[in-house]
């Protein structure tokens, strides 16, 4: 009685085709997954920071009236205004404590590979690693109206010392607005500025994601 069966050659050809298709589609699937994971992490840290700021302001008055970070020092500033309202593993004023090594990985690279703002910079930053492994680094403000400038920046590295440490990929920037709320840096700028800055310097990439409905779409400079 004859039975239908595959020859060894047919099996090998089929496996080869499956391998080729997998090699062609897997990177795309992984890319989609990574983008969605990035957005989820970004949403989470945005929520964490917003809640922490809200709770701190209940205790310490509005952000615009906070004492000078430069006057207090980074660690005291952190302990007074942020530490009680964050679940974090460690305050890390040194790169190695934050999980970074080498001479530059804790500095924010733009999409062209150029070094930009430092995430850890002596007494100019108040960095900590959250329980989920996200690095959050607060710029030290002068207090009052002068705090509503670049000193209100909050730098976020979604995976701390792990690669790639590139703006718009795993590094993002938030700021505290004049309304004393957490916003993505550049949230109040026009669409053209947000898109161009994200593609070049990477500062406004969080704003671009949020403005796209919390999506990394096909126009986003992802690589």
Averaged pLDDT of the chain: 81
User: End-to-end CA distance of the chain, in Å?
Assistant: 58
Dihedral-angle region of residue 122 (phi above 0 means left; psi in -120 to 50 means alpha; beta otherwise): left
Q: Is residue 20, in this structure, part of any structural domain at all?
A: no
Q: Residues 189-208: what's their mean pLDDT?
A: 92
CB 63 within 8 A of CB 49: no
Q: Residues 128-148: what's their mean pLDDT?
A: 75
Q: What is the DSSP letter of 145?
A: G
Domains: count for the chain: 1
- Domain of residue 147: give its range: 30-211
Q: Is residue 7, in this structure, part of any structural domain at all?
A: no
Q: Is 189 exposed, middle or buried (0-12, 13-18, 19+ CB in 10 A)?
A: middle
Q: Is residue 204, in this structure, part of any structural domain at all?
A: yes
| pTM, rounded to two decimals | 0.80
Query: 185 to each of 49, 105, 170, 193, 212, how far by Cα in Å?
Result: 14, 21, 15, 11, 15
**Strand, coil or helix: what is 209?**
helix
Q: Is residue 167, in this structure, part of any structural domain at all?
A: yes
Give pLDDT, residue 147.
43
Q: Is residue 175, in this structure, part of any structural domain at all?
A: yes
pLDDT, tens digit (0-9, with 9 covering 90-100), for 2-30: 555 657 666 566 666 666 655 555 555 55
Dihedral-angle region of residue 67 (phi above 0 means left; psi in -120 to 50 means alpha; beta otherwise): beta
Q: What is the DSSP letter of 130?
A: E
Q: Is residue 1, in this structure, part of any structural domain at all?
A: no
Helices in the chain by DSSP H: which ranges?
8-60, 69-72, 74-81, 191-200, 205-211
Indicate the Cα dihedral angle 69, 104, 89, 157, nearest 10°: 80
Q: Is residue 21, in this structure, part of any structural domain at all?
A: no
Question: Is the per-residue pLDDT at 105 higher than 70?
Answer: no
Q: Could you count the other beta carbons within 10 Å of the beta carbon of residue 166? A: 17
Q: Is residue 179, in this structure, part of any structural domain at all?
A: yes
């Amino acid at each position: 009685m004859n039975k239908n069966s595959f020859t060894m050659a047919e099996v090998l050809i089929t496996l080869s085709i499956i391998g080729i298709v997998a090699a062609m589609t897997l990177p795309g699937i992984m890319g989609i997954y990574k983008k969605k994971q990035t957005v989820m992490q970004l949403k989470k840290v945005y929520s964490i920071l917003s809640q922490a700021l809200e709770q701190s302001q209940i205790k310490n008055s509005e952000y615009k009236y906070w004492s000078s970070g430069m006057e207090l020092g980074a660690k005291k500033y952190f302990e007074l205004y942020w530490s009680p309202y964050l679940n974090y593993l460690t305050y890390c004023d040194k790169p190695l404590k934050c999980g970074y090594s080498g001479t530059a990985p804790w500095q924010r690279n733009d999409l062209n590979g150029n070094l930009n703002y430092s995430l850890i910079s002596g007494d100019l930053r108040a960095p900590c690693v959250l329980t989920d492994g996200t690095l959050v680094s607060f710029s030290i403000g002068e207090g009052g109206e002068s705090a509503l400038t670049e000193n209100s920046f909050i730098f976020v590295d979604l995976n701390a010392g792990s690669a790639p440490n590139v703006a718009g990929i795993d590094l993002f920037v938030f700021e505290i607005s004049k309304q004393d709320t957490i916003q993505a840096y550049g949230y109040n700028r026009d669409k053209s500025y947000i898109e161009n800055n994200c593609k070049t310097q990477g500062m406004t990439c969080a704003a671009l994601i949020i403005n796209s409905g919390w999506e990394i779409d096909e126009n986003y400079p992802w690589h």
